[in-house]
Structure 1
Amino acid sequence: MSTVDYFGLTIQADGSINQSDRGWTNWNSAGLATVINAAHAAGDRVVVTIKALNADAVNSIVTSSTATNNVIQNVIAQMSLKDQANLNIDGLNIDFEGTSTGYPNVQSGMTNFTQQIGSAVRQRWPASFITIDTYSGSASWDGGIFKIDDLAPYVDAFFVMAYDMVPDFNHAGPNAPMNGWTYNDTTSVSQYLTKAPASKIILGVPYYGYKWCTVDTYAYAPATGADGKAVSSTNPRACPAGTAQEPWASWWSPPPGSPSVDPCGAYHSSWRELYYDDAASLGLKYDLVNANNLRGTGLWALGYDGSSTDLWNELALKFVSYWRALSARMYSAPAVTSSAANRLDVFARGQDGALYERSSSDSGDTWNYWSRIQAVTTSQPAVVSFAAGRIDLFVRGVDMALYHRSSIDSGASWTPWSRIQANMSSAPTVTSLGANRLDVFARGQDNALYYLESTDGGMSWKPWSRIGANMSSDPAAVSSAAGRLDVFARGQDNALYLISSTDSGASWQPWQRLGGNLASAPAASSWGQGRLDVFALGRDLNVYHLYSSDGTSWQYWQRLGGPFSSAPAATSQGSGSIDLFARGQDLALDYLRLYIF
């Protein structure tokens, strides 16, 4: 986040500020002071919106020199008062929403107003950030209230309000479609780029949707009844989920007095349809921002997301994290662990069947050269660290047995390989329940899951135990709490399955089907008590992410990019971050630092 916008101060037709509404009350509140201080402490700017949402008022403000001068004086006075309270305001956003129909001078007046107030604010505060809110279709023509190319020299950016694009509120429909319809994000961006540089375009996205009473359950159904008009919904994630790009859902809303209420509130005696942007569809819009090198994206509005973190995670993925290529030619999927603070240790099989290791001591910013570890392997490696400097490494040999070696100095030296009897049909996976504990899992020749444990750091091993199932991939194992083991695998139907133990592997709960359509084995990691993060390739060979904060309820699959040519590998160095690796199409190792909110 770079900017927090306070919305806002209401400007009246004569240029005065409305001092009787909530915008004025909150402007003078201790709560806003707290927000300003917190934003500045985080290095973010704070701007204030001046707003007029009535066409008559907008026309009066921008076509009357007296009203324009009143606005300028009043706004500068309010910003100066904040300065005196050490609550500096770093810029101004103009949100004047009206129409040119019936107001022939409003367009030229808007340009003149923007020039004058921007010049006055910058004269007092030269570094001020000046923006203006404009419609998604404003760049499609030279008419209307906003003439984009005339306004461009006087603002730092346009906040394009790319929402409320439903063409006919008598039918259910998307709030902010990517393509199609009369207005959409893709067309809007291309039109704005003909009128203003990319560095001055901020694509606004909605954190709300619309719901209708409809005649049936078909998409874009006609509205019906007294409640048929669209009603905005600012917490759509509490309602039924949809699919990417134009998420929508339909459900029956019972009549009053019925024992159940529809998931978005109230009784309607009709079918209901909801359209909104979820994290996946917002991600497509963020891709549009990045593909066109726009200045950024803007959210309407903070707080509409409720307590959900999925939208913040999508922002972090698109604007904070990025995949980096680490040179190599890998002949297996990678394996990764963290053997010390800020340390990452990555392993993979080379063309000669030996293992190769690469490490970073600064959380992945820089990397050592690859080092060769003598081995003859027939699988990707598995690796875990249960103490500082300790690394335990496992592979499948040419005889399908399990081989193990360890290091107590972060890979500077290694014990000899030791052979552990097995007949594996997959690579092994390993996790640790605590000091000197090693928990190894593999798929047998019967496609069932088998489990092996050591409580003395691999000096001795209990016999293999058969857990069962019918797997079609290597397993992935992780421990997120004392005594808890979670093992994931792809089933014969390509869905993700989970089996868990809460008593250190003494007994196991039934397998759970978590869904998905996997094209690879899963990978798993944990960065907190009860937290589970699972990764796998989808059918498009992109990495997808599924997570749970309690091991019981699961959030949606989040697309993290690709394409890749191996299953991913994941570890966590601390709360809220995951280090993710996969082999690219060029056989090189690709790395992503994922931040979780």
Structure 2
Amino acid sequence: MKNKILLLLPLILISCATDQKNKKIVITPDTTDITKSYGTSDFRKNIKSSDINLKTEAQWDSVNELKKHYKHESGYRRHKDYKTFGWHMYSEGSAYKNYDFSLLWGISYFSYTINPRTGSYHEIHQWKTTNLVDSAKANNCKVFLSVTNFGAKNNATFLANPKAQETLIDSVSALLKLRDADGVNIDFEGVSKKNKQEFSNFLVNLSTKLRNDNSKYQISLALYAVDGNRIFDIKTIDPYINFYTMMGYDYYGSFSHHAGPIAPLKSSTTWGKNSLEHSVNYYIEQGVQPSKLIVGLPYYGGEWQTNTESIPGKVIKFTNHYTYDQIKKKINSLRLTPTYDANSATAYVVYKDTQGKDKQIWFDDSLSLSSKYDWMKSKNIAGIGIWALGYDRENKELWELLADKFGQEK
């Protein structure tokens, strides 16, 4: 990776299907493209490729230029009827010192990266020592450990090896006990259709054994925005899963033929069938109870070079993913005012760079997230997730929105 790590994820280039003719309004190519990623989050699937392996939170703070902390305290606490959940990337260092834990029901440390051949971990980063765990517990915020395995080959290797699975379960159990944690968030991305049964068997086995070790442990499972391969056998696994975290983002990304919303709220002729609404309805139809579903939303956006200033704009080149904080800094420096796309309930800006190239940035802010939070509350789902905590830095408006939508006075 180059210079400072923005999101700790290198630019991801995906081989896409041949582009179809650009249509003025209706976009069909992108509806297909997201399913071609087979459940791999565009934004985070190359975490495993990181060539930076720092050993302390202070080192990550230095890389991220996190020189001071901005403690967000709203005077509110989470309302008991909602589950507000967030992921803390190891690469965010001590950014958790900014978090208002009283507004969070749960937080997951990202992550235990599986060695698929053995089941042990390639990395657990600062899990054994991070004060994040203590800070969360002091505010009655549950603590989870994300367990990740990315890519069809890695998943096939691991799921074909019962011994590796036993090693993983034993290792995770010990790590949860070490930090008196509350459970795990299983995030296997890119599982092939042929491994569906093995994946279900693994989840049942892991849940059974971890709960035998400690009955308080909660087992959660990350669901793809689009389950193109129908990997999740909800009827089989549901008795063993306490809650689900749906990755409600990357509907548009580096793979897209058109610039567009990272997390479109509803299906439309402009942005296609795939949307938060479509995904939530799909999983409910598959048997996921709304009361067990947490929908993750992005604290980041994407930038594309396009062939036009118009919406939708055909992609010439995907530029990058940016955190919410970086997008705010960028649009402020360019003196841009976000426009809101009603079809997707998403903010965007269009501008020309110094070379005269057309650029579009699509992202969620407090206004667009407010619409999505309201919709999710109307669906009576368990709550919302944040990918990822810390991406807002000193900006307080997203915490204020959480307090407004999911909080109550202390």
Decide: shared fold, TM above 0.5. yes
Residue aligned with 1:159, SS = strand
Partner of 1:212: 304
Q: In 2, distance between residues paired with 1:160 and 1:49? A: 14
Partner of 1:90: 182
CA-to-partner distance for each residue in 1:496-525, whole Å, 9 max, x for gaps? xxxxxxxxxxxxxxxxxxxxxxxxxxxxxx
Partner of 1:254: 354
1:49 paired to 2:146: yes
Partner of 2:128: 28
Q: In 2, distance between residues paired with 1:152 and 1:159? A: 13
Which of 232, 246, 259 is residue 160 of structure 1 equivalent to?
246
Q: In 2, distance between residues paired with 1:308 and 1:200? A: 30
Partner of 2:221: 132
Residue type of the partner of 1:247?
A
Partner of 1:8: 111
Residue type of the partner of 1:251?
Y
Alignment of 1:509-520 (within 5 A): none
Q: In 1, distance between residues paired with 2:277 and 2:113? A: 32
Cα displacement (A) at 1:10: 0.3
Specify every segment of 5 or more residues in structure 2 that has no aligned partner in the other structure, as ranges: 1-103
CA-to-partner distance for each residue in 1:347-388, whole Å, 9 max, x for gaps? xxxxxxxxxxxxxxxxxxxxxxxxxxxxxxxxxxxxxxxxxx
Q: In 1, distance between residues paired with 2:328 and 2:236? A: 40
1:188 paired to 2:279: yes
Partner of 1:317: 404
Partner of 2:120: 17
Alignment check: 8 A CA contact 1:13 1:56 kept: no
Residue aligned with 2:318, SS = coil
Q: In 1, distance between residues paired with 2:160 and 2:384? A: 31
CA-to-partner distance for each residue in 1:186-205, whole Å, 9 max, x for gaps? 12112222221111111111
Residue aligned with 1:247, SS = strand
Cα displacement (A) at 1:28: 3.3
When structure 1 is superposed on structure 2, of 294-303 and 149-158 the one drifting more is: 149-158
Alignment check: 8 A CA contact 1:170 1:229 kept: no
Alignment check: 8 A CA contact 2:173 2:210 kept: yes
Alignment check: 8 A CA contact 1:100 1:144 kept: no
Residue aligned with 1:209, SS = strand
1:122 paired to 2:211: yes
Which of 270, 273, 283 is residue 357 of structure 2 equivalent to?
270
Cα distance 1:237–1:17, how it changes in 2: closer, same or farther (>3 A)?
A: farther
1:144 paired to 2:236: no
CA-to-partner distance for each residue in 1:128-163, whole Å, 9 max, x for gaps? 11101011223xx7x432223322221011100011
Residue aligned with 2:380, SS = coil
Q: CA RMSD in A?
A: 1.9
CA-to-partner distance for each residue in 1:417-437, whole Å, 9 max, x for gaps? xxxxxxxxxxxxxxxxxxxxx
Cα displacement (A) at 1:300: 0.4
Residue type of the partner of 2:388?
A
1:70 paired to 2:173: no
Which of 349, 370, 375 is residue 283 of structure 1 equivalent to?
370
Cα displacement (A) at 1:120: 1.2
Alignment of 1:69-468 (within 5 A): 69-80=166-177, 82=178, 87-101=179-193, 104=194, 106-138=195-227, 143-166=229-252, 169-180=256-267, 181-194=272-285, 195-224=287-316, 228-235=317-324, 236-238=327-329, 239=331, 240=336, 241-243=338-340, 245-255=345-355, 269-321=356-408
Identity over aligned residues, as a percent?
Answer: 27
Alignment of 1:480-499 (within 5 A): none
CA-to-partner distance for each residue in 1:204-236, whole Å, 9 max, x for gaps? 111111101112211121122xxx125211132
Q: In 2, distance between residues paired with 1:222 and 1:114? A: 41
Cα distance 1:93–1:15, how it changes in 2: closer, same or farther (>3 A)?
A: farther
Q: In 2, distance between residues paired with 1:41 and 1:59? A: 40
TM-score (norm. length: structure 2): 0.67
Alignment check: 8 A CA contact 1:130 1:155 kept: yes
Q: In 2, distance between residues paired with 1:199 and 1:62? A: 29
Q: Which has the higher helix share?
A: 2
Q: In 2, distance between residues paired with 1:72 and 1:13? A: 13
Q: In 1, distance between residues paired with 2:162 and 2:120? A: 16
Residue aligned with 1:243, SS = strand
Residue type of the partner of 1:14?
R
Q: In 2, distance between residues paired with 1:234 and 1:296? A: 22
Mark the structure with the bigger radius of gyration. 1
Partner of 1:483: none
When structure 1 is superposed on structure 2, of 56-65 and 210-219 the one drifting more is: 56-65
Q: In 2, distance between residues paired with 1:303 and 1:18? A: 25
Q: In 2, distance between residues paired with 1:64 and 1:285? A: 41
Aligned residues: 290
Alignment check: 8 A CA contact 1:99 1:144 kept: no
Residue type of the partner of 2:106?
T
